[in-house]
Amino acid sequence: MTVSDQTSVYVGGLAYDVTEDLIRSTFEEFGEIDKVKIIQDHDGQSRGYGFITFATSEAANGAIYGMNGKVVAGRSIRVNEVKNRGGRDSYSYRDRDSRRDREDRRDRYGRYSPKRRRRDRSPYYRRYRSPRDDTSRSVSPSPVSSYDRYDSTKAEKTKTSKEHNGDNSKVKEELAKALELQRDRREQVATLQSDLNRANKTSEEMLNKNKGLEQSLANVTSMFNSHLDYLRQMKQAFADVRNCKEKLRLAEHDLEMAFTDAVLGFESLDPPLPHSNGEIKYLEASKGF
């Protein structure tokens, strides 16, 4: 991981079970994060500090002012700028956190303090220690057996701690995945709800248009029926006119035949009826008609 003076920050005082994902989710509100690195020892355990590299220096400064002294996972953390050139601020904090890490683990496993062990290993102290110290040491178990028991206990506790941390990491990862899946499901539900609302609105608009079309169709149907009635009436009128013309023709024919029979009847009379020339001409003219 490349640590930059401008875009990276030092984070100390971290709890030992804090993961890089938790650090990322905690600090990403200040800006885009390129890399998160928690420093670990040779056993793969956290040393209690790490570095965060942001995309911009503004995000790094915001994280320093916004998170320094805040509580993360039950512990107050320190957030400082990184000085790789001409300064040792971040490294002094790192050394102090590393020392605190070792002291916490000594307290956890019940070992002597560093000062006590240095004193016991000093040749000067071994030369001038009092007989009482030897007496007190004689009643205690031998150093070899004590360290053997310590190493065994340390190995068991380290194994248990690793398993516990591994289980916690798995649980946290599964929880993070579940939360991410829940957020995705909520976004999908919100999207589906929005689509459903738009579909309902569109359906309502189409129903209103359909009602308008049905009314227009009813009006057109009524007009068509009215025109159809007019056509039927006109057809009947034409039929009546044809019938009247035929009746008129037949009546004219009957009238002509009757007129002809009347003229012939008058001419066949013996003696013929007296009539004037004017009447004959009128009759002839009528016959021609």
Could you tell me the pLDDT band of residue 225, with boundaries at 50, 70 and 90? very high
Cα dist from 8 to 35, 63, 78, 258, whole Å: 9, 10, 14, 133
| Structure-token pair, residue 201 | 């609105």
Beta bridge partners of 54: 33
pTM of the predicted protein model: 0.34
Classify burial at 100, counting beta carbons within 10 Å of its beta carbon; exposed 0-12, middle 13-18, buried 19 or more.
middle
d(CA 53, CA 2): 8
pLDDT: which is higher, 22 or 116: 22
d(CA 162, CA 246): 121
pLDDT at 174 over 90: no
Before 272, cis peptide (omega within 30)? no
| pLDDT score recorded for residue 149 | 53
Q: What is the rounded average pLDDT for all residues in the chain?
A: 77
| pLDDT score recorded for residue 261 | 85
Contact present, 26 and 77 (Cβ < 8 Å): no
Among 23, 10, 25, 17, CA closest to 44 = 17
| pLDDT score recorded for residue 251 | 94
Among 239, 183, 163, CA closest to 25 = 183
CATH superfamily placement of domain 8-81: RRM (RNA recognition motif) domain (3.30.70.330)
d(CA 28, CA 9): 13
pLDDT at 39 over 70: yes
Could you tell me the pLDDT band of residue 54, with boundaries at 50, 70 and 90? very high
- Residue 160 has a CB neighbour count (10 Å cut-off) of 10
Query: 107 — alpha (psi -120 to 50), left (phi > 0) or beta?
Result: alpha
pLDDT: which is higher, 84 or 218: 218
Residue 56's contacts (CB-CB under 8 Å, 6 or more residues apart) are: 7, 31, 32
DSSP three-state, residue 18: coil
Domain extents for the chain? Answer: 8-81, 169-237
